[in-house]
């Protein structure tokens, strides 16, 4: 009994058996990077602690809430939501055809896949605020610029995940259709898209949540919606009005997330 307990106590995970020089160098490099990052932005504990009283003072200036412009703010919040829906829908419509060229099991040629994947990566790596600034110049101030910015961001997000979901589907049925003379389009329509549809819907719902949050920020650069109202309120030190806007944004985001979670659960559960 004592021998058995001793043996059991000496069993340790393999990762603890040795700590190589390479691991030590990586750990030291990570620590050095973190320290240099804090030094690079001149971050100090004193400045961090000083922020507490300032935040408390700002919160005290946000009360009571200013409901004098509630109706107009509600309209702008609705525009923000519509901007997110339009941008996400356009992103879905464009991302679905891209799957035929970006997915490894559907693309007609590796070079085509490389080019399309590159475009999707470009859409994803450019921040949505940059897209908003570009479209504000192209189409002018307003929610159309915001919707187009969300569209580009959604293409980068959905194009990647739609393609990966398509590549994860069973290869057997796909090979059977090709053996009967079917094309890649036949494979996509008959096998890949139907079986990957639950993943597509789940990803689209995530993209919608992401778009609603992004649409608020895009308003800060003139892309329409309630974001610009928040910027104006903060610039004019109208903190009571700004607090109401923040609360309205919070309610919108929470509602969208709750609806999205329920729809996602229904889709996954039904599948």
Q: DSSP per residue over 21-67, as a string?
A: HHHHHHHHHHHHHHHHHHHHTT--HHHHHHHHHHHHHHHHHT-S---
Q: Does residue 252 fall inside a structural domain?
A: yes
Please report, for residues 32, 34, 36, 51, the alpha-carbon distance to residue 40 in angstroms, rounded to integers and kept in the order given: 12, 10, 6, 19
Residue 19: per-residue pLDDT: 62
Q: Does residue 26 fall inside a structural domain?
A: no
Helix (H, G, I), strand (E, B) or coil at 103: coil
| DSSP 8-state code for residue 222 | T
67-70 long-range CB contacts below 8 Å, 24 or more apart?
67/244, 68/241, 69/241, 70/244
Residue 15: per-residue pLDDT: 55
Residue 102: per-residue pLDDT: 84
Domain that holds residue 88: 70-270
Of 137, 159, 152, 160, give the one whose Cα is nearest residue 223.
137
Q: Does residue 163 fall inside a structural domain?
A: yes
Residue 194: per-residue pLDDT: 78
Q: Does residue 150 fall inside a structural domain?
A: yes
Per-residue pLDDT 10s for the chain (271 aa) are 444 544 455 555 555 555 678 888 899 899 999 989 988 888 888 878 877 888 888 788 778 888 888 888 999 999 999 999 999 999 999 998 888 888 887 777 889 889 999 999 999 999 988 999 999 899 888 889 989 999 999 999 999 888 888 877 777 777 787 777 777 677 777 777 777 788 888 888 889 988 988 888 888 777 778 888 888 888 888 888 889 999 999 999 899 888 888 888 887 765 5
Q: Domain with 84 in it: what CATH number?
A: 1.10.3720.10
Q: Does residue 241 fall inside a structural domain?
A: yes
Residue 89: per-residue pLDDT: 94
Of 202, 91, 86, give the one whose Cα is nearest residue 155.
91
User: Residue 5, preceding bond cis, omega within 30 degrees?
Assistant: no
Helix (H, G, I), strand (E, B) or coil at 219: helix
Residue 270: per-residue pLDDT: 54
Q: Does residue 54 fall inside a structural domain?
A: no
For the chain, what is the domain count?
Answer: 1
Q: Does residue 57 fall inside a structural domain?
A: no
- What predicted TM-score, i.e. pTM, was given to this entire model? 0.77
User: Residue 64, preceding bond cis, omega within 30 degrees?
Assistant: yes
Q: Does residue 7 fall inside a structural domain?
A: no
Residue 1: per-residue pLDDT: 47
DSSP string, 65-121: ---TTHHHHHHHHHHHHHHHHHHHHHHHHHHHHHHHHHSTTT-S-HHHHHHHHHHHH
């Amino acid at each position: 009994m004592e021998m058995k307990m001793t043996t059991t106590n000496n069993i340790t995970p393999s990762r603890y058996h040795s700590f190589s020089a390479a691991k030590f160098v990586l750990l030291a490099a990570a620590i050095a990077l973190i320290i240099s990052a804090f030094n690079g932005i001149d971050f100090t504990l004193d400045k961090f602690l000083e922020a507490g009283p300032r935040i408390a003072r700002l919160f005290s200036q946000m009360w009571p809430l200013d409901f004098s412009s509630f109706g107009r703010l509600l309209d702008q919040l609705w525009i923000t939501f519509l901007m997110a829906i339009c941008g996400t829908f356009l992103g879905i419509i464009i991302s679905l055809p891209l799957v035929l060229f970006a997915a490894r099991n559907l693309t007609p040629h590796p070079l085509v896949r490389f080019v399309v994947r590159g475009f999707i990566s470009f859409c994803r790596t450019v921040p949505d605020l940059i897209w908003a600034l570009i479209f504000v110049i192209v189409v002018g101030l307003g929610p159309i610029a915001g919707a187009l910015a969300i569209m580009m961001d959604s293409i980068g997000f959905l194009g990647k995940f739609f393609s990966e979901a398509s590549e994860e589907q069973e290869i057997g049925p796909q090979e059977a259709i090709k053996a009967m003379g079917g094309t890649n389009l036949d494979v996509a329509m008959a096998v890949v898209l139907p079986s990957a549809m639950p993943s597509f819907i789940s990803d689209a719902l995530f993209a919608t949540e992401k778009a609603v949050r992004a649409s608020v920020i895009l308003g800060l650069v003139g892309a329409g919606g309630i974001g610009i109202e928040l910027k104006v309120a903060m610039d004019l030190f109208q903190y009571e009005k700004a607090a109401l806007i923040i609360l309205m944004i919070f309610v919108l985001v929470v509602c969208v997330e709750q609806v999205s979670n329920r729809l996602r659960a229904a889709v996954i559960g039904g599948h």
